[in-house]
Amino acid sequence: MKWLAALAVLLGWLSPSMTDALNHGVSFSNSEIRIILSHGPSWPPNLAPDPSNRVSGDPAAIALGRQLFADPRLSRGHNRSCATCHEPNRAFTDGLARSIGIARLDRNAPSLFNLRLNRWFGWAGKSDNLWAQSLHPIVDRRELGASADLVAERIAADSALATAYQNVFGSQATTDPPETVLVNVAKALAAFQETLTSGKTPFDHFRDALAAGDRDALARYPLGAQRGLRLFIGKGQCRFCHFGPNFTNGEFHDIGMPYFIDKDRVDPGRYGGIKAVKSSRFNLLGPYNDDESRSTAGPTRHVALLHRNWGEFRIPSLRNVALTAPYMHDGSLATLADVVRHYSELNEDRLHAEGERLLRALRLTPGEIDDLVMFLRSLSVVGHGIQ
Ligand code: HEC
Ligand code: HEC
C-alpha cells in the first residue's frame, strides 16, 4: 500500500484532504507537496569528486588533510590552525560573531558541511573552488599569517609529513616550488573537508515519509515544524533563495543586513568577492586547476561585476543551522528567533533601490515566529551533527 500512496502523492492524484488524512497534521496541497519534495532527493546526496582537484576523494589525501586541518604548523606562530575557528565539536564554527585569528576578522566563520555543493566559497564568494578557499587563511596575515615558503619548510622539516606529502602528490616538498606545496596542502585540506557531510534531519525524514506516503513517519514530525514549513515555502517566500536540498541557490543577495564593519569601514560583500575571484591566480581559470578542460570554470568566466552586487552576501545553506549561532555574515544576530524577527520586521528602505521583490516585512505573529524557528531547528541533525 505504501508504494501506491507514494506514487499517488508524486503524481498528484491525492486531493489535499486525502493527504491530510495520511498526515494527521497540517494539510499540504499538492503543489505544496511538490515544493517540499523539491528539497530532496533523499539526503545525503551522492557527490562526485571535484575535477579541479586531482586528489579529491583520495583516502591518503583525506587523511593528510584531516591532520593538517588541526596542525598549528600551518600558522606562523605555531599557535593556531583551521580548527581554531572551525571547531569540529561546534559544527566547524567558533561561536563568535566575528572570528579572531592574529587579528579580528570582518566576518562570521561559516560551518564546513556539504561544501561539495557550493559553487562559490566564503560570504562574498571570493573563491570559486574549495582548495583556493582553504589556501587563503594560511597566508592571510589576520588568520594564520604563514607563507608558501614557511609551509614548504615546515612540511619538509617533518619526515613523516614529508613522506605523506610525497605519497599523495608523487613529488617532494623540498623540490616542489613553495607555491606548489602551498596549493597541494590546500588540495589535501579540501579533500578532507569534502568528506564533512551533515546527517539526515527530522525534516529529511518528513520529506521522505511524504514521498513514501508513510503516515506513521509523517506523524513524528512536530506540528509546529509542519506549520513553520508551510510558512517557509509559502507566505515567507524563504524557499526562493533557500532553495533545493541544501537550502540555498548558491548565489548572493542583499537582505537588509548592515554592511558597516565599524564606524568608517564598509564590507563590499559580493562586489569585492567578484573582483577577488576574477583576479586570483588560484581560480578555476588559472594554472592550478587540475581539470584541463576547465569544465567547472564557466561561472568564473562569465560572472560580471554589477553595482547591485555591493552589499550582497551568499545565501547560506540552512542545514545544521541550529548548531551554528550566531548568524549572518557579521554574526550580528544571536538566535534563530532574531533571524526570523529580522525578516518579519524588515526595513524595506534598507534594501537596494533596484529592489529584491521577494523580500517584504512579513509581520509574523509570535506563534508564527515560533513555528518558523521550530522548522529551522528541524533542518539540523539531533546530537553530534556529523554523519
Ligand atoms: C581566524 C579564524 C579562521 C581560521 C584560522 C580559518 N578560518 Fe576558514 N573561515 C573563517 C571565516 C571568518 C570565514 C568566512 C570568510 C569570508 O567570507 O570572507 C571562513 C570561511 C571558510 C570557508 C568557506 C566556507 C563556505 O561555506 O564557503 C572554508 C572552506 C574555510 N574557511 C576553510 C578553512 C581552512 C581549511 C582553514 C585552515 C587552513 C581555515 N578555514 C582557517 C575563519 C577562519
Ligand atoms: C532574497 C533571498 C532570501 C530570502 C527570500 C530569504 N533569505 Fe535567508 N538569507 C539570505 C541571505 C543572502 C542571507 C545572508 C545575509 C547576510 O549574511 O548578510 C540569509 C541568511 C539567513 C539565515 C542565517 C543563516 C546563517 O548561517 O547565518 C537564516 C536562518 C535564514 N536566512 C532564514 C530565512 C528564512 C526563515 C526566510 C523566510 C522568512 C529567508 N531566510 C528568506 C537570503 C534570503
Reported as a single tens digit per residue, the pLDDT across 21-62 is 455 678 899 999 999 999 999 899 989 999 999 999 999 999
Dist. CA 311 → ligand 2 center (Å): 14
The residues lining ligand 2, judged by C-beta closer than 6 Å to any ligand atom, are 232, 236-238, 240-242, 253, 255, 257, 313, 315-316, 318, 321, 324, 327-329, 336, 339-340, 343, 356, 358-359, 372, 376
358 or 233, higher pLDDT: 233
In a shared domain, residues 302 and 366: no
C-beta neighbour count of 141 within 10 angstroms: 12
Task: Note the pLDDT tens digit of each residue in 248-276.
Answer: 999 999 999 988 888 889 999 999 999 99
> What is the domain-level CATH number for residue 294?
1.10.760.10
In a shared domain, residues 184 and 139: yes
Reported as a pLDDT band with limits 50, 70 and 90, residue 355 is low
Which domain covers residue 332, as residue numbers?
A: 1-37+198-268+315-387
Residue 114 near residue 318, CB atoms below 8 Å? no
Give the total number of structural domains in the chain. 2
The angle that helices 130-139 and 178-193 make with each other, rounded to 10 degrees, is 120
Instruction: Say whether pLDDT at 18 is over 50.
Output: no
Residue 42 resides in a domain: no
CA distance 46 to 320: 18
44 or 2, higher pLDDT: 44
| CA 142 to centroid of chain Cα atoms | 22
In a shared domain, residues 237 and 220: yes
Residue 44 resides in a domain: no
Work out the burial of residue 296: count CB atoms within 10 Å of its CB; fewer than 13 is exposed, 13-18 middle, 19 or more buried: middle
User: Where a domain ends, among 253, 281, 310?
Assistant: 310
